[in-house]
Structure formats: structure tokens, C-alpha cells
Amino acid sequence: MLFLPLNTISLGASGAIFGLIGGAFSILIIQRDTPLIILGLMYVFYFVFSSFAPGINYFAHIFGLLSGFLMGYLFKRNKKSTARYQY
């Protein structure tokens, strides 16, 4: 909201959705799952470029994506894998 004029109305949950997408993408990068990273990049680029239509708050989308990516990285970087293998 800091980058928009004072008379701008902004509502919706799309910034939060982009935050979830950014968090999921950072987890894919940490786990180094290459095929999913490529698909994730395509997904992120599609939604970021579609955010620049008139009437859409692209600042909420971009900063939601960046903050979700940062928070996903911070929460996942020190966690050890808890995967259980069955033989």
C-alpha cells in the first residue's frame, strides 16, 4: 500500500495466494527437485505476467510472492527431513 496513491482501494486475498505460491517455490528449491523447479518457474512467471492487467494490484502480487518465498526459505532451511521410509 506504500507504493500506491492514497485514494486507491485494494482488497482481496490474491497477495496471500501469491505468498503461498512463493513459499511452495522456495521449498522446491531447497529440496532441489529439478523437474518441479522448472514447472514452478513456469507457473510463477505466468501468474506474475498475468498480474499486470488493468485493475489488478500487482504490488500485492509481487510483494506477496517475495515475502512468501522469504518466509518459506526461513522456515525450511534449518529443518531436517522427517521422511519415513518403509521397506
pLDDT by residue, tens only, the chain of 87 residues: 666 677 777 777 888 888 988 888 888 888 777 777 787 788 778 877 777 777 787 788 888 888 998 998 888 776 665 555 565
Distance, CA of 9 to CA of 40 (rounded, Å): 31
> What is the maximum alpha-carbon separation in the chain?
62
Q: 32: alpha, beta or left, given left = phi > 0 and alpha = psi -120 to 50? A: left
